Amino acid sequence: MDKELNVLKQETLNAIGKLADNKKLNELYLDIFGQSGKFTNLTKKLKTLSASEKPQIGRLLNEVKKELETAFEKHKSIIRNFKLAEWIDVTASGSGPSTGHLHIVSQAIAEITEIFERIGFTRMRYPEIDWDWYSFESLNMPVNHPARDDFETFFIDLPSNPKLGKVVLSPHTSSGQVREMERVKKPPIRMINIAKCYRPNWDISHTPMFHQFEGLVIDKNINITHLKGTFDYFAKEFFGKERKIRLRPFHFQFTEPSFEVDITCGICSGRGCRFCKDGWLELGGSGMVHPNVLRAGNIDPDVYTGYAFGWGVERTYMMKQGLKIDDLRLLYSNDIRFLEQF
């Protein structure tokens, strides 16, 4: 039996050396060590041997099995390395980083800008760190107005200006209204101002830093129908024909009359959900520019009228049909699994 084992070992080693495919190597392994394999059949003969022969043949069986299994594993590694060398050029440069894309907010800003540019608006941007006067007083907000409290506005610890007041992180893009009037000096004005804003709020529909887009139109004989027509056009282009907008009377210091602009919720289609509560979502404020604001910008309110609106970019984008984003904070979570969807 020892002769048979040695012959089997040599034949198997020779056969292993000729193979270059894992599938055939596995087939050979089963032919040797399978349930009806050649080595298995020889092992079964052990019980037919005499008591004096069994110890010697048993040791030989173990030695041959160990040697053959080592040969199989070694050759499997050789085949694997050969395949790698065959398909991979080790001198080639490594893989570069995957190509990214614009953040969802940047995409929204680009789309909003394009829509308003089609109807004659000029894109502007004004300071994120501004004077109290531009953010509040020029907009007809008195010194004791609640929005000027440090619970609503980030004040910066810098020296005040005798005329312009304290330094703040701009709480809204409306601070660019009077700056635009100062820049143009004489209407017509048709501005869209998109910038970062800051308020100490944090919940599913607010973040401390967010973006707004501010519209300002000033000319002779501007009225509410122009404001409503602009909103209808934007809603149709940005949200789609099936969404509805409503003007809800409100009060803002810098517009008179004033309106909050609502749109049917894109998550629940107006039925009411966790995000909207009652089927409507507030886009932002709007109204006819208050005469005191026009005067602050050195424009005669007896000659010119205008309308203005300020909407959050993130909130507006979240209301797009089909997105179903019910927490604004997700936009700034930096979770690549979320961001890759857009």
Indicate which CATH number applies to the domain containing 221: 3.30.930.10
Other CB atoms within 10 Å distance of the CB of residue 202: 10
Evaluate whether residue 95 is within a structural domain.
Answer: no
- Do 26 and 161 share a structural domain? no
- Do 40 and 127 share a structural domain? no
Domain that holds residue 46: 2-87
pLDDT band at 180 (very low <50, low <70, confident <90, very high): very high
- Do 317 and 248 share a structural domain? yes
- Do 162 and 270 share a structural domain? yes
Q: Among 7, 30, 16, which Cα is nearest to 68's? A: 16
- Do 133 and 60 share a structural domain? no
Apex CA 108: angle with CA 123 and CA 204, to 5°?
120
- Do 124 and 43 share a structural domain? no
- Do 177 and 128 share a structural domain? yes
- Do 317 and 231 share a structural domain? yes
Instruction: Give per-residue pLDDT as tens, 24-57.
Output: 888 888 888 888 888 888 787 777 777 777 778 7
Of 25, 60, 87, the residue that ends a domain is 87
- Do 185 and 314 share a structural domain? yes
pTM for this entry: 0.67
- Do 108 and 82 share a structural domain? no
Evaluate whether residue 284 is within a structural domain.
Answer: yes
- Overall domain count for the chain: 2
Evaluate whether residue 97 is within a structural domain.
Answer: no
Residue 85 has pLDDT above 60, yes or no: no
- Do 83 and 211 share a structural domain? no
Lowest mean pLDDT among 21-35, 65-79, 107-121, 318-332: 318-332
- Do 136 and 58 share a structural domain? no
Q: What is the DSSP string of 8-54?
A: HHHHHHHHHHH---HHHHHHHHHHHHSTT-HHHHHHHGGGGS-TTTH
